[in-house]
Homo-oligomer: A and B are copies of this chain.
């Protein structure tokens, strides 16, 4: 690491992005470019290798970067936005050479290799790193992230659902099962050429998917069970596509223990997130657009006394808090920088 550009902490972290040509990759580029203590030195992409980054993403013209076939310059940290399996393969060599890694893919999220291999239908390329990888939901794993060299950045859906239910699960005020009904913007499907993600098919339309099991489900189970004071959590998760570009709205349901009041729930949630820079317990029902382009997550717990249910809503931007922003937040913690560095921008609304 060289000297700081702005004197804040005396450091400039040199960063690289593997596979900048998807939406998580381009969002990483947007965030790292404006980070006061990071220099984005190299970005890679297969199909666009050799082209200016602005050929693929005109909005990144100001970064003056060229897409390279691989990371060519020395880096302190590398972010991989490759698909699973390919991602583990790509970051293996960096790990070996001591470069810190933030893996946006699912490769190191699941602690149980067999669970990973059964959901993702591949043999894990680098199982030897699963043990030391830290699940990068900063709010739950900050102490481990500080010491980590490999971050498994969480899936966008588990980020919204686990943040919504973690306080209730840890405090044991509910029965040990949750339902997460998630409404996702289409960018969560990635930058892909597929009729089913075309504008004409998705505009003015809503539909569920993954009804027989979505790959993010084991993350819910692992993380909620890990924080739980009431044993393993039985998770039901149904994602839906709704016609917006960014955003995940998660509506979570659980059976509340007798006698738990709205006031107690409010206090519990506010205490849980009191010192968190990016999680806000909202005073009213959240809307995804209020987090657009920012690393914020808005959470709103409601006690339905008539039915005895706890309903918790969370809203976030799937490409920021659900992917690239969380990655930058984790990098900040790993390198001892201010956790909000590069992530202070106000959401863009409307």
Contacts and interface: CB of A to CB of B under 8 A. Distances in A.
Given A58-B298, A179-B309, A347-B59, A285 B211 contact: yes
A213 B183 contact: no
B251 A346 contact: no
Contacts of A315: 206-207
B290 A206 contact: no
Contact of A307 (B187, B204, B235, B302): B235
Interface stretch (A85-93, A104-112, A140-148, A236-244): A236-244
B234 A307 contact: yes
Contacts of A202: 199
8 contacts: A59-B291, A61-B280, A192-B195, A194-B198, A204-B244, A205-B289, A236-B307, A242-B242
Interface stretch (A26-34, A72-80, A121-129, A266-274): A26-34
Contact size range, A:
35 or more
A1 interface: no
A9 B308 CA distance: 52
A311 B236 contact: yes
A285 B245 contact: no
Interface of A is mostly: mixed
A345 B63 CA distance: 11
Nearest to A320: B348
Contact of A287 (B177, B192, B207): B207
Interface of A: 23, 26, 30, 33-34, 57-63, 177, 179, 181, 183, 185-187, 189, 191-195, 197-209, 211-213, 234-236, 238, 240, 242-247, 249, 251, 253, 280, 282, 284-294, 298, 300, 302, 304, 306-309, 311, 313, 315, 344-350
Contact of A282 (B57, B58, B238, B300): B58
A251 B348 CA distance: 26
A33 B186 CA distance: 30
A270 to B, nearest CB: 14
A201 B307 CA distance: 31
A247 B202 CA distance: 13
A203 B244 contact: yes
Contact of A211 (B57, B249, B311): B311
Nearest to A285: B208
B198 A192 contact: yes
Given A211-B311, A244-B205, A62 B186 contact: no
A62 B339 CA distance: 16
B34 A245 contact: no
A156 to B, nearest CB: 14
A249 B200 contact: no
A246 B213 CA distance: 28
Contact of A193 (B198, B204, B206, B284): B198
Nearest 10 pairs of A and B residues by beta carbon = A207-B287, A205-B289, A59-B347, A59-B349, A242-B242, A293-B348, A181-B181, A186-B199, A200-B350, A204-B244
Given A30-B346, A208-B249, A292-B348, A240 B183 contact: yes
